[in-house]
Amino acid sequence: MPAASNACLISTYTQTSCFEDDKAPSDYISSDEEQLESGCTGRKFHYENKAERTFNAEMTAFEDFAGKNSIGAAFTRENFNEVVQDLMVAKSEKTSDFASYESLPEAAKHEKFFRAAFEVLLKEGVFSATSRKNKVNEWVNPEELEKVLELDVNPGPSSHGKLLDLMKTVIKYSVKTGHPYFVNQLFSSVDPYGLVGQWLADTLNPSVYTYEVSPVFSLMEEHVLAQMRSIVGFPEDAGDGIFCPGGSMANGYAISCARHYAFPQIKTQGLASCPRLVLYTSEDAHYSIKKLAAFEGLGSDNVYLIKTDARGRILPEDLRAQIERTLSEGAVPFMVSATSGTTVLGAFDPLPAIADLCTEYKMWLHVDAAWGGGALVSRKHRHLLNGIERADSVTWNPHIRYASENGIDTMTFYNEMELQKVKQFHPNAQLVIRIRCDAEVAQCQLGMKFGCDAITEAPRLLR
């Protein structure tokens, strides 16, 4: 949920002689349509009677607001009351069923809408969307979907009913990731209690950066991260952690920490104060390592890719060779990013051997366990991450659950090379499906450019 705007205008009126006794000053400008037309949508006036404020001050404040929001011209002491009365008359003449767009929820205005919206989410977004009787996705081409969604900004307000219809449309044409038939390599299913937790978090809209503004979630974050460090095997009461926008940024934070650990002066003096730094990772590692190395100014050429064995695991002997190469070049080896669960083969690098080399050459050891970290809570598969407790930093995406092998009978592919992978690693595959989309505006175009024609060439490849 977007945070409420912290930009607001507060005008403190001291004299109320220009207002009727039974009306609050806000009544004159609180019409939904007036708010929208004046450009002050979502903002409220706050009025207080303070005798020490002068009429000139209140007139100046009102004139400033009106001028900025195009609801009036210049004001004078003589016409001030008249202008306010005109606003009052204009308000009384306007009737509208438009929804009130305000940053403050009010039961009288919003409760019915909230309950109706929740009913849509629960019925169509949760239960209907996860039923085997319904589709995973109502597929339409991008150009058709643009017309259905009416993505252009609406110049006017919308009613509650139209907003509810929009919610239903969004649900209808979205991929139902909680559907039993939605199988993704990184996530799937909807945890009922996690969903309720998400609703709770969105309702409170916390920003967990200080205890003052988020006491409950600050403590919650500390305890969850401490438990995760304990599962990894870090010493009790040692270390720290942070929730990140994603696994890629978590790897980026690790690179930044490793760089600062090797050369603390970089914080104030920058990269120019350091020699050329070299980072090592698997040739099958996630692309974020090279991407974030470039982003942080190290340069992607200074990410040395280490050879892997037939199962996709780093070869420690090649790692040593690349470290020695770095030293001979006059550069500094400062970090190894090992992978526990590569994105293609699901390989787990040999952490004990890598940790030994990091100790020998005084390098930072980072373990990217975004994909395979779930094995840490598995009695059967935890051994795959033996040695992770020796890491200096660990990336772990808890939403990517389980690291066990999956028997795959159906797979999509986009070129002949992918089909060869199916044959090599899944010899029992019985059916290969390819979805083709040649739309020029499609985010992922699948056509002749990416491989075989689904009709004329697929039979040849399947042989």
Instruction: Give the pLDDT score at 68.
Output: 47
Instruction: Give the pLDDT score at 105.
Output: 87
For 154-169, write each residue's pLDDT tens digit: 888 888 999 999 999 9
Instruction: Give the pLDDT score at 20.
Output: 40
Instruction: Give the pLDDT score at 84.
Output: 57
- Below-70 pLDDT ranges, the chain: 1-102, 185-186, 400-463
Instruction: Give the pLDDT score at 245.
Output: 85
Instruction: Give the pLDDT score at 112.
Output: 95
Instruction: Give the pLDDT score at 79.
Output: 60
For 375-406, write each residue's pLDDT tens digit: 999 999 999 999 999 999 999 988 765 433 33
CA–CA distance, 82 with 59 (Å, rounded to integer): 12
Instruction: Give the pLDDT score at 213.
Output: 92
Do residues 223 and 241 touch, judged by C-beta distance below 8 A? no
For 403-447, write each residue's pLDDT tens digit: 333 333 334 444 556 556 656 666 665 555 444 444 444 434 344
Structural domains in the chain, CATH included, are 1-104 (no CATH), 107-202 (3.90.1150.170), 244-395 (3.40.640.10), 410-462 (no CATH)
Buried b (16+ CB within 10 A) or exposed e, 348-385: bbbbebbbbbbeebebbbbbbbbbbbbbbeeeebeebb
Do residues 248 and 288 touch, judged by C-beta distance below 8 A? yes
